[in-house]
Each structure stands twice: as C-alpha cells, then as structure tokens.
Structure 1
C-alpha cells in the first residue's frame, strides 16, 4: 500500500514539474518574441518656407509653406504673434528686426523648425519729401508711404514750442540759412505705424550733404606741422576736428586760402556751411567767396560774405549760455543758384586778426 502511494506521488510530481517547465518555456518564448519586435517608425518633419513682401504694403508679408511630413505647425513672427494656418498672411505693426520661427510636428511627436531674420527699415517704408512752393521761403511737405495712409502727424522742431500738423501736405515757412528738423508719424489703414525724420529741411526743401561724395579736392596751402590739423579735417564731417593754417613756418600761407572740390557729375549746390573751431574766435574766417566751374578755368561767383561778427559772438547773440554752445557750431548760407557745376571753390580771404586761421568744417548741400 505504501509502495503504491509513493508511485502515485512520484507521478504527480512529474506532472507538476512538466507543467511548470512548459510554462517557463512558453514565457521565455513570449519574452523573446517581445524583445525582437521592431521599433515603431520615426517620422521627422521637414520644415521650410519662403515669404514675399506685398508691393502695395511694405508691412504685409505672404508666407509660402514648403514643409513636409508634418501634422501641425506653429508660426511665430517675432512680434508675439502665434498662427497655425498652413500659409499665413501677416501684417507687422511697426518697422523693426524680427525672427520668423516655423515649428513642425510629425505624427510620431518629432519636431523640426526653420528660422529666418526679417528687417523692416523705417526709411525703406516711408520718406519725407519737401519742395519749395511759389511763395518765398515756403516748403510743401508730403509723405511717401509704401502702404495705404490713414493719417500723418507732423512735428516741426524749429518752433518753440514745437509745432505740429495733421494735414497730409502741410506748407511750412523757414528762415534763410537754417537747417531744420521735421518728423512725420504715419499710420496705415491696417494700423501699422512708422516714424521718420529729416534734419535737412531748408527754404529750398530737403537738401542733401554732398561734401563726402566728392571725387577729390585740392588746396592752395597745407598744414605740414600736424597731420591732426591738416586739410583733411576741413572735409571730414566731424565738427570736433579742425583745419589750422598760419602762426608757424610749417603751416605758412597767404590769402586767399582756397579749397576746390571736384565731382564726377555736375551738382547744383543750394546751400553750404562753415564751422567754427573749439577756441580762439579771432582765428575764425571773416570773409570768403564761393565759386563754381565746369572746366577749372572759368569760375562763376556764387556767393561772397563778409561777416559782421565772429562766430562766437554770433552764438552769444543767439542766446548761447556757455562755450559748449558758442564753439564748434555750423553756420549755413543759402545760395541763389540753379546751375550745375563739377567743381566748387571755397576761398577764405581774411580772418579776425590772429596770425593763424582755423575752421572745423566746410560742407556743400544740393
């Protein structure tokens, strides 16, 4: 009886062991099958775009989407704007530097992006134009905007207090021999705003400094004592430098001291400027002449001046309260000239009694 029980227990143990072994083998096979399953495919989106500026509205841009393998996108235009359409049209509200950022998302959650910098310059969008009108010393202004105009606010800084106008084409009188600042704040019909200024408003309209557009220049005497005060400082556009002659053998000269400027093409000069140095007003130019020529042989007199006071005293008369306002100043002189010349000659004929002559700038405007 005990022997039969033992045999029965042994058979039962074998069945149990066999079952467990089978389960282990089955589990091992399932684990192996899971381990060799391939990874799901990765879809990397491709992000690319182009844009075009509207020829009738410089603030308006149309975007062409060249992306692929994406399910959604996010457009950012550098002005806190978020868009999700495929090919948006965006209108900027002001000039500036912007970073266009397009981000693409694939169905597997992968992301790619493309970024492009965009700059809208104020001067490329708006321009102030000023032309002399029939009445003496009056200028009519208008704004040229590469967008439909809703309104303009003009500011004229020559007036105290500052003058303003909301007319589309205001007419403004100016004093002869002055360079004035005018500013226009323009709003488009889409609400875009741009502000532009012109610092060269005169009785002739808007003038342009052409001094440094010259082909070359000559001078009848040179400062060989100091290169820091030679004739190049006369035409360098810097009121903090100066040209000095006389008082030493190395910078000896005789009047007239003449500087001739040459241009590749004939220019119509409408105004010129003479600048005072940082000290010693007795060295200021007192009298001079300006001539024009097209052959360097025949010269036509355009202007002649003999100043009643030196530049320092002129600034005192204008109310300048310190040397910072009395020295290093530009004085502007209008020309009654309608003829174009390739050469202009500025000849200083006297100063205010010092052995040396000094001047910080000569500038020519058309």
Structure 2
C-alpha cells in the first residue's frame, strides 16, 4: 500500500508542534491601571488666620500623594491643611502616583500679600504722629521698628500703636511686624513725615525713560533700571555726558501728584554726583513747568539718601528730572531715585 507523501509532511508537522512545550511570549506594554491625574483647589478656612490654607485633592487614579509647599515643608496626606509662616508667593506642587509607578504633577501659586491683610493708619495731631493699623487677622504680638540706617533698626513700641514726634521737613523710615498666635509673621514698611505716610510712586503704572543710557543697555549691571530697583547697593552709570541735555522721565498712565523725591549717591567717585537740577511737570510732554530747582547740592558721603520736598498740588502725567550739572565729572552716577507723594495738611 502506497501512502501519499503529503500525508507524511502533515504528520511530521503535527508531531513537531506537539513536542514543543514552549509558548510564544505575550508582550503587553499597556498599563493595567489607568494613569493618574493631578489637580487640587485651595482656600483660606478662617479669614482671621489667612496663613492657614486647606488644600483639597481632586486628582484621580492615584495611590499616593506628595505635596511640597515651597517653604521647606512637605506632606503625604491626600488633602492637607498647611500653615505658612510668612507672607510671599509660594509655588505649591502636588505629585500623584499610582501602584504601577506612573505619576502626574500639578502646580499652583499661593500668594499671601501684607497690603491685602492690613492697612496702616496715620493720625497726625499737635502732639505728634500716631501710627496704628487695621486688620481682620488675629494678632498675638505687635512690634514697631525705626530704621536708623540700612543695617540697623531699633524697637520703638510693642503696643498696638506707635507715637512719634517728627520735625517738619524730616522723615522717618519705619516698619511694623505682626505675629499671629501660630507664629506666622507679616510686616509692612513705611516712610513717615510729620503729617503721615509718604507714598512711593516710583513704579506705579508708568513708563520710565532716560535721555542717555549705559553702554551695556537698560538692564546691564549699571544700566538705568538700577536707578529705580529700590536697592541702594546697585547704581546707574553713564559716561561722556559733557554738556548735553541729560534727564530721566516718568510718564504715568494716569496723572499723579508728586511733591517729593529722594536721591541716593553712588558708592564711589563723588565727582559724578548731581550738583544742579530741575524737576519739571507736564501733561502733554511738550510744555513743562519747573516744580523744583536745586543748585550747589552736595552728598557728603557714599550711598547717602537725601529726601527733597516741594509745593505741588497739580497732578501731572509727565515728570522729568533734568540734571544740569554734576559735581565735576563728565560722567554721572546715582544709586537710587524715588518719586514720592508727601502727606499734606487737610
């Protein structure tokens, strides 16, 4: 009996297949669990304690959480409550992780702003100036400090208010520190005159321009931006001015009443200090009124801040500071300039 060769081939294939006990591996790169998401909301629970914030986790598909609060503290709770110990901006991060190691992250910025939590109140009288504050925050301790210079301050009062006798034409740098029962701290600086609080308008909604720029540009190490950065350890330097018309200017989006200003001398080379200058005001940038004029002024030491006042009750859009002469140099430098609104008698 003759068998068909095809029969033998099929039988051999079946035999080889049945003799193998190995199976082809099944590769599955897909996660067995859904990937996590990360999201949260936050709120101040008690307006009397704005430093304590409740974070509510609205994430999904997670097994563990990691929180960081941008103040060297962390939490692994699902929805923690956290107390910040100072004012400022804090980038709060939430990381969620599932059991397979997949993770997601969410960031939100929490801002605690002193000016939104407290308001300074100045009450001038024949007996002097009384400073106090208004706040809805629970305060456990109040401290009023007077700045003697950039490095030194002394404690003036630990009462809810502070009383000062400030001679006309003089100014006092001060600040108040409020501490809550949980130890959170907020503070506020103030420049005071005999009639109340001096308002700083230097960076209030305006365009700041200069006639001559530092060779490295506005934002260079000694560029014009350093003139109004509120830091007396930096300075603006311009060389080769000679006899050209040299000025800097503020153009406010809304007209402002300015009746004072401060100048801080540079760190070296007193021959670059301003000697003669005018302060001018305008509402069209073309027609100018001289508001204050100074000649033969002298800065007796380096990084010395002097405050000048003048009579003005008219709001102007433009204010120009025209430096007519330096002490002797063709170059100019100044560490800081501030535009001020001084309190006036009511």
Shift of 1:266: 0.7
CA distance in 1 between partners of 2:244 and 2:35 (Å): 76
Query: Are 1:99 and 2:93 matched, yes or no?
Result: yes
Query: Are 1:288 and 2:277 matched, yes or no?
Result: yes
* Aligned CA distance change for structure 1 residues 335 and 211 (closer, same or farther; 3 Å): farther
CA distance in 2 between partners of 1:127 and 1:193 (Å): 13
Counterpart for residue 321 of structure 2: 346
CA distance in 1 between partners of 2:36 and 2:133 (Å): 47
Query: Are 1:273 and 2:258 matched, yes or no?
Result: no
Measured against aligned partners, the alpha-carbon deviations of 1:62-108 in whole angstroms (never above 9, x if no partner) come to 4154535x8x8667565354546xxx461424354443355666xxx
SS of residue in 2 equivalent to 1:150: coil
CA distance in 1 between partners of 2:276 and 2:235 (Å): 22
**Could you tell me whether the CA contact under 8 Å between 1:104 and 1:111 is conserved in 2?**
yes
**Could you tell me whether the CA contact under 8 Å between 1:128 and 1:141 is conserved in 2?**
no
1:255-274 → structure 2 map (5 Å cutoff) = 259-274=248-263
Name which of 294, 298, 301 aligns with 1:310: 298
Query: Are 1:150 and 2:143 matched, yes or no?
Result: no
Counterpart for residue 243 of structure 1: 238
CA distance in 1 between partners of 2:331 and 2:177 (Å): 41
Shift of 1:269: 1.8
**Could you tell me whether the CA contact under 8 Å between 1:48 and 1:114 is conserved in 2?**
yes
* Aligned CA distance change for structure 1 residues 297 and 43 (closer, same or farther; 3 Å): closer
CA distance in 2 between partners of 1:201 and 1:282 (Å): 29
Shift of 1:141: 4.4
* Aligned CA distance change for structure 1 residues 131 and 270 (closer, same or farther; 3 Å): farther
* Aligned CA distance change for structure 1 residues 299 and 135 (closer, same or farther; 3 Å): farther
Counterpart for residue 67 of structure 1: 60
Q: Between Structure 1 and Structure 2, how many residues are aligned?
A: 291
* Aligned CA distance change for structure 1 residues 138 and 242 (closer, same or farther; 3 Å): farther
**Could you tell me whether the CA contact under 8 Å between 2:156 and 2:162 is conserved in 1?**
no
Shift of 1:343: 1.4
Name which of 332, 351, 362 aligns with 2:307: 332
Counterpart for residue 54 of structure 1: 44
**Could you tell me whether the CA contact under 8 Å between 1:285 and 1:357 is conserved in 2?**
no
* Aligned CA distance change for structure 1 residues 183 and 112 (closer, same or farther; 3 Å): farther
Measured against aligned partners, the alpha-carbon deviations of 1:303-357 in whole angstroms (never above 9, x if no partner) come to 33345x621xx33xxxxxxxxxx2x4442223444432111132344554x3636
Name which of 167, 173, 185 aligns with 1:180: 173
Choose 287-296 or 167-176, whichever is displaced more: 167-176
Shift of 1:245: 5.2
CA distance in 1 between partners of 2:115 and 2:286 (Å): 45
Query: Are 1:215 and 2:190 matched, yes or no?
Result: no
CA distance in 2 between partners of 1:74 and 1:259 (Å): 53
**Could you tell me whether the CA contact under 8 Å between 1:291 and 1:346 is conserved in 2?**
yes
Query: Are 1:364 and 2:330 matched, yes or no?
Result: no
CA distance in 1 between partners of 2:331 and 2:65 (Å): 67
**Could you tell me whether the CA contact under 8 Å between 1:45 and 1:104 is conserved in 2?**
yes
In the superposition, the TM-score normalised over structure 2's length comes to: 0.62
Q: CA RMSD in A?
A: 4.7
**Could you tell me whether the CA contact under 8 Å between 1:131 and 1:140 is conserved in 2?**
yes
Unaligned runs of 5+ in 2: 1-31, 228-233, 342-346
* Aligned CA distance change for structure 1 residues 111 and 363 (closer, same or farther; 3 Å): closer
